[in-house]
Amino acid sequence: MVNNMGGTSNESMGYPRVDISQSTSVVCENCGHDKFKSTIKIRKVSKLLFGGTEDGIIPFDILECAKCGTDQSDLKPKELKDLEAKDKIEKDK
């Protein structure tokens, strides 16, 4: 199913039909702007952990504010938030 904007509807992608009037706006936690851009955060994995010949990478798609560039921590995958918290603890030691 195609929506009136020319894209694919959520329903045809396996998501339930949702009344948009019952949604809430998402704004930047830093500046309040309501537009975001997708960026990629990359984590490196040692070749020793998976038996490769080169280190591997794990890409994470994250959203950042289109105005101020702040990463939107509320919108990050839980796994990435947990890893960043672990990295911060290790860095602060």
Which pTM does this prediction carry?
0.60
pLDDT, tens only, 43-67: 899 999 888 899 999 898 889 999 9
Report the candidate in 47, 45, 46 with the shortest Cα–Cα distance to residue 58: 45
Residue of higher predicted confidence among 31 and 77: 31
18, pLDDT greater than 60: yes
- Per the rule left: phi > 0, alpha: psi between -120 and 50, beta: everything else, 61 is beta
Helix (H, G, I), strand (E, B) or coil at 43: strand
Residue identified by tokens 């890409």 is 59
Cα–Cα distance, 48 to 41 (Å, whole number):
22
Residue 6: the pLDDT is 47
Domain ranges of the chain: 26-92
